[in-house]
Amino acid sequence: MAVPILFDAVTIRHFSSISRLDLLEMCHGYRPKPRWVEGVRNEIQMGDLSGYRECRPILDSTWFGDPLEPEMIDLASIAGLQIALGNARFEDEDKTETLRHRGEAESIQQALKYGYSFVTDDNDAHRLANFRLGAGRVFDTVDLLRLAVANSDLTSTEAVATAHRIQGLDRSLRRQYERLLTVQDFQ
Amino acid sequence: MDIGARVREVREMIGMKAQDLGTEIGLDPSAISNIERGKRSVKGDELAAIAKTLGVSVLALLDGNSLLARLPVSPRTSNGVMLKGEVLERITGIAELHEILAEWESETLNYSFPAVDTNEWLDQAPSLANWAREKLEYSPTGSNHFFDLVGAIENKLGIDVLVESRADEDFSGASLTDVEYSLIYVNAEQPITRALFTLAHELGHVLAQDGSFVIDQDLVANSDNERFANAFAAELLLPEQGIRSLITSENLDALALCSLLALYGTSYETLIYRLHNLRIIDAVGRDKLRKIGLRGLMSQINDGDLEAKLFARMKRYPTRHAPVPLTKRAFTGYKMGVISSRPLASLLGVSPEVVTATMELDAAAELEDAVVSNGLNSDSASDLYGGSPVEEVE
């Protein structure tokens, strides 16, 4: 049986910024819900309030469904993960931001608890999740595009173009993909 | 104690009304009341907002017995002056990191210090200083006084020392004293000679285990705990035996004083303070020396090398230093996937990208070595140890 996959805010916003949320549905629509956690939805709501245009279509989409809400018993583990990911105390620019890395921390903790997978393009969250969940359960945007190619939802040329469009909007893929991606990356 | 009861406890501790807390985080007062009475569950983002408003770590609300819960909620200096909270914020962040790493570590930190009664500070401080000097294998007449002492405290006692500039807050040093974790924090915005006394003073607090958290603004001795810390620092840095073997009331002149300063590396103010509390000079002599000032004293000696050495030291400030024991633990934690690059980068004072890129290049050992080795970078006893040993003197 397919395992639910939890999407991080950064990855959802990547696809929304190029109006391709449909790709997520195309590749992962068969998976059962949940598709995101409460902390990720909160981050996207905050982004919407701050005027980031890619956030509104995400909130309007019905595909994501209700976010997974952590239980009280999960809060200590989530707080620990948030600190491990570098909560606001460790970052100079805004020490008062309590939501920073909250979505990633919740996603990793819930994926760990329920055996779900996790998708993120945040380098640190990806690395930490790899350690905690195991390598086969953590993915990023390039992985999603490769899967779309494997499923024949996209050609490798279209996958490259999609990645370039995301990068062209100054949105970051994981560090290893900072170079210009080519068709070979998707074959 | 459950989360709700803990929220109420902290809220009442800082004297905040439930209504004000609710307004601050956008919740109805009845919701706060229900959370506190355990009748309503609290969401993660709500808990984070509550913790932020109450000025504590989320971990302090989740576990009332944790190190974070033992940190104070209202940052005050030893003189009772309210601070903006930047120092407490920084120490809270470090204590959080310690908690996260400790959860994964097989060994707990084990501090072992002699029992001290700070009410008996006049007798106890010198004996603890002698114990510390032996344990630290620290020579107060070494060449690099401040960082020699930093290294000894970290290597021999396992106590973390953080030295960094906090121009935004008026404090000399701070110490977190807890059986679970201890930390000394020295503000690098002070000349290295003054920072040396601050470091020793904070070590006195830690060794005395005299409270969970102290922020020292000017090291004025207004309590037995502070007098103890000053007396401890004075004996550690300027041992009575050593001083008396070099100087007496009879041979005390400008050259002798300048030579002592060069040998022990303390500030002029600290030396005057020490000579007074050893009764080598009296209060009149102390005030006279203060009036003359170090520049006045140096003008009276005819030794260009000594003058240059003291002058250079007056202008020197400590460089940043990351706490080495914690940094080593954080490196291990990073390699094991316990923490991300960000907390480690914050400790080292570099960007997360530098940490990650270096690790990916498999140069972690080199980075660790570089960071760890270069040091990131009519007088009563109370009067003798009263006042401030680091008060600015022209």
Distance from CA of B110 to the nearest CA of A (A): 23
What pLDDT shows up at residue B384? 57
Under a CB-based contact definition with an 8 Å cutoff, are residues B53 and B21 in contact? yes
Buried b (16+ CB within 10 A) or exposed e, B174-193: bbbbbeebbbbbbbbbbbbb
pLDDT per position as a tens digit, A45-61: 999 999 999 999 999 99
| A168 three-class SS | helix
| B174 three-class SS | strand
What pLDDT shows up at residue B375? 40
What pLDDT shows up at residue B83? 52
What pLDDT shows up at residue B376? 37
Q: How far is CA B54 from CA B49, B85, B164, B243, in A?
A: 9, 12, 26, 49
Rounded Cα distance, B59 and B61, in Å = 5
Answer yes or no: do A86 and B337 touch at CB < 8 A: no
Three-state secondary structure readout of B128-170: HHHHHHHHHCCCCCCCCHHHHHHHHHHHHHCCEEEEECCCCCC
Mean pLDDT of chain A: 91
Residue spans of chain B under pLDDT 70? 1, 72-84, 211-212, 217-221, 360-394
Rounded Cα distance, A94 and A89, in Å = 8
Under a CB-based contact definition with an 8 Å cutoff, are residues A39 and A77 in contact? no
pLDDT at A84 over 80: yes
A100 at interface of B, judged by CB pairs closer than 8 A: no
- Cα angle A52, A54, A57 (rounded to 5 degrees) comes to 125
Determine the distance from the C-alpha atom of residue A20 to the mean position of all C-alpha atoms in its chain, rounded to a whole number: 14
Answer yes or no: do A38 and B44 touch at CB < 8 A: yes
Q: Which of B48, B90, B346 sits opposite A102 (nearest CB)?
A: B48
Distance from CA of A53 to the nearest CA of B (A): 23
Residues in A touching B48 (Cβ below 8 Å): 79, 98-99, 102
Mutate to test the interface with A, among B94, B338, B342, B361 (most CBs of A within 10 A): B342
Q: How far is CA B189 from CA B121, B148, B174, B294, B386, in A?
A: 29, 19, 14, 20, 24
- Which chain A residue has the Cα nearest residue B60? A76
More confident: A127 or B366: A127
- Which chain A residue has the Cα nearest residue B42? A72
Joined tokens for residue B41:
């569950």
Rounded Cα distance, B330 and A86, in Å = 12
What pLDDT shows up at residue B14? 85
More confident: A102 or A135: A102
Joined tokens for residue B215:
């922020």
Determine the distance from the C-alpha atom of residue A63 to the mean position of all C-alpha atoms in its chain, rounded to a whole number: 15
Cis? peptide before B140, omega within 30° of 0: no
Mean pLDDT of A12-39: 94
Q: CA A102, A104, A105, A111 torsion: positive or negative?
A: positive
Answer yes or no: do A79 and B336 touch at CB < 8 A: no
| B99 three-class SS | helix
Q: What percentage of chain A exceeds 70 in pLDDT?
A: 94
- Which chain B residue has the Cα nearest residue A76? B62
B21 burial class (0-12, 13-18, 19+ CB within 10 angstroms)?
buried
pLDDT per position as a tens digit, B343-389: 999 898 888 888 887 776 655 555 555 555 444 344 555 655 666 66
pLDDT at A21 over 50: yes
| B213 three-class SS | strand
Identify the CA nearest to A89 among candidates B10, B371, B95, B40.
B95
Answer yes or no: do B58 and A79 touch at CB < 8 A: yes
Q: Which of A82, A91, A131 sits opposite B337 (nearest CB)?
A: A131
Q: What is the rounded end-to-end Cα distance, in angstroms, of chain A?
A: 27
H or E stretch at B18: helix B18-25
Q: Which of B45, B51, B338 sits opposite A84 (nearest CB)?
A: B338
What pLDDT shows up at residue B133? 95
What pLDDT shows up at residue B366? 56
Q: What is the rounded end-to-end Cα distance, in angstroms, of chain B?
A: 54
Rounded Cα distance, B30 and B18, in Å = 9
More confident: B221 or A141: A141
pLDDT band at A172 (very low <50, low <70, confident <90, very high): confident
The full DSSP string for A26-38 is HHHTTSPSP-SBH
Mean pLDDT of A149-174: 93
Under a CB-based contact definition with an 8 Å cutoff, are residues A163 and A177 in contact? yes
Cβ count near B58 (within 10 Å): 26
What pLDDT shows up at residue B394? 42
Q: Which of B48, B89, B340 sits opposite A86 (nearest CB)?
A: B340
Count how many Cα atoms sit within 13 Å of the Cα of residue B184 in the half-sphere of its side chain. Answer: 30
